Amino acid sequence: MPPEPELRFLDRKTPPHLLTLILLAGLSALSMNIFLPSLPNMTAHFGTDYRLMQLSVALYLAMNAVLQLAIGPISDRYGRRPVLLVSIWLFLIATLGCLLAPNAAVFLAFRMAQAVIVTGMVLSRAVVRDMVEDARAASMIGYVTMGMALVPMIGPVIGGVLDQAFGWQASFAMLLVAGVLVLVLTWADLGETAPRRGASLGEQVRQYPVLFRSRRFWGYALAAGFASGAFFAYLGGAPFVGSEVFGLNPAALGLYFGIVALGYVGGNFLAGRYSVRVGINRMILYGTLVAGAAPVISMGLIGLGLGHPLAFFGVMVLVGLGNGMTLPNATAGMLSVRPHLAGTASGLGGAIMIGGGAGLSALAGALLVPGRGAWPLLAIMLATSLLAVVSVLYVRRIDRLEGPPGM
C-alpha cells in the first residue's frame, strides 16, 4: 500500500486537511436542508402553494444531477482546486439572489443556481480517492461524511429557530456567511490532488462510455441511488408530514427533522471503523437492510394508531444509519472501478443518485395531500430501499462470477 499523503493544515502545496473536506461537503449538505422547516412560511410569504415551494428541493436536486455530469470531467481535466474555488464564488452569488428574491419564480431560479455548491460534495470524495486506495478510501469517506452529517443534523434545527426569530431569509443569510468562510479556508488549505491532464475536456467527457459499460459501476451507482432515494423522498415529504399531519411548528419540525442525521453519523462511524475489515459489499448490504426496516416499522406503529411524531420521525434514525453505512462504501466502489476517472465517476454516480432523488422528492410532494397521512411517503421509501438491496446483491453476484476488481 502507498504511504498516507503528507498533510499540512493551511498549506496550499499539500493535499487538504480532513477538516477542509468535511466543511466543503458540509456546506453542500447545509444548503440542501437548512431552510426546509421554513417551507410553509415561505409558501405564505410568496403567496403561492406548498407544491410550488417544494420544487425548491426537487429543482435543486435536479440541477445537482445535471451539474455533477460536468463537474467530474472538468475537475479531472483542470484539477480540483480551481473548480472548487469558482463554484463557491457562484454559490455566494446565487445565495444572495435567493435572499433578495421578490417573488417565487426569481427565488426558484436562484435556488437552482445554488446547486453549483454540489461541487464540494462531489470533489471532496474525489480528493479522498486521489489520496488513498479502495477500502481505505471507503473508510476515509466514511469519516468525512460522518463529520459532514453533523452540519445537516443541526441545520434544520438552526433553520427552524432562525425562522421563528427572524423569518425565512435568515437561513439564507447564514448560508452566505458560511460560504464566505469555506471559500477562505479552501483557498488557504486545499492543494491540488489531481494533476492537470493533457486530454481535452471533450476527451474527458468521452470517457463516460468506459463507465457505462461497467456492470460493477452500475451496481454500485444504483445501490447508492436507491439507498439515498429513501432519504431524498424524506426531504421532499417530511416538512408536509410534520406540519400537516402532526401540526409541528418550524422550530419543532427542525428538531424532529434532525433525527435522521443522528443515525447518519452513527452509520458513517461504522463505515469508517469497519469497512476495511468487513469489506465494502457486505457493509452496503447491511446498510440497505437497516434502512429498509425503517418504513416497515413506521407503517406498523402508525397502523397501530400511534399518533406521536416519533412514530414517523423517530424511526427515520434507521434510514440515516443505513445510508451512513451504505453511501461511503458504494461511493468508494464506484470510484475504484476506474481509478484514473475518479472525478468523472464521482460526478456520474452522484448525478444518478441525485437525479433519482429529485424525482422521488417531487413524487413525494405530489402524493402528499391532506387526508392521506404519511402513507404515500412511507411506501416510496420502502420501495426504494428494497431496490437498493437488489442492487448490492447484483454487485455481489458479479464478484462471484468475475472476481473482485483488479483480478
The C-alpha angle with vertex 245 and arms to 244 and 248, in degrees rounded to 5, equals: 65
Question: In b/e form, how buried is each residue of 299-308, taking b as 16+ CB within 10 angstroms?
Answer: bebbeeeeee
Which helix (H) or strand (E) is 331 found in, with range? helix 317-337
Identify the CA nearest to 222 among candidates 332, 379, 330, 78. 330
- Looking at the domain that runs over 18-193+200-402, which CATH code has it been given? 1.20.1250.20
Residue 248 contacts by C-beta under 8 Å, 6 or more apart in sequence? 242, 256, 309
Which residue has cell 466502489?
333
- Dump pLDDT digits (tens) for 241-296: 888 888 888 778 877 877 887 888 888 888 878 887 888 899 999 999 999 999 99
207 φ, ψ to 5°? -75, -15
The 3-class SS string of 147-176 reads HHHHHHHHHHHHHHHHHHHHCCHHHHHHHH
Measured distance CA(310)–CA(361) in Å, rounded: 21
Distance between alpha carbon 163 and the CA centroid of its chain, in Å? 23
Give the span between the Cα atoms of 390 and 384, in whole angstroms: 10
Q: What is the pLDDT of residue 407?
A: 41
Per residue of the chain (407 residues), give pLDDT as tens.
Answer: 444 555 667 767 777 877 888 888 888 888 887 888 888 888 888 888 877 887 787 788 788 878 877 887 788 777 888 999 999 999 999 999 999 999 989 999 999 999 999 888 878 877 876 776 655 666 676 667 666 656 766 777 788 888 888 888 999 999 999 999 999 999 988 877 776 655 555 666 666 677 777 888 889 989 988 988 888 888 778 888 888 888 888 778 877 877 887 888 888 888 878 887 888 899 999 999 999 999 999 999 998 988 788 999 999 999 989 998 998 888 888 877 776 666 677 777 777 877 777 677 777 777 777 777 788 889 999 999 999 999 999 999 988 877 665 44
How many whole angstroms separate alpha carbon 27 and alpha carbon 177? Answer: 11
Q: Which helix (H) or strand (E) holds 65?
A: helix 50-78
CB–CB of 329/336 below 8 Å? Answer: no
pLDDT (tens digit, 9 = 90+) per residue, 298-321?
999 998 988 788 999 999 999 989
Nearest to 38 by CA among 163, 165, 170, 152: 163
Which pLDDT does position 275 carry in this prediction?
Answer: 80
> Using CA of residue 210, residue 216, residue 220, residue 226, what is the dihedral sign?
positive
User: Would you state the pLDDT for residue 98?
Assistant: 93
Q: What is the per-residue pLDDT for 1?
A: 41
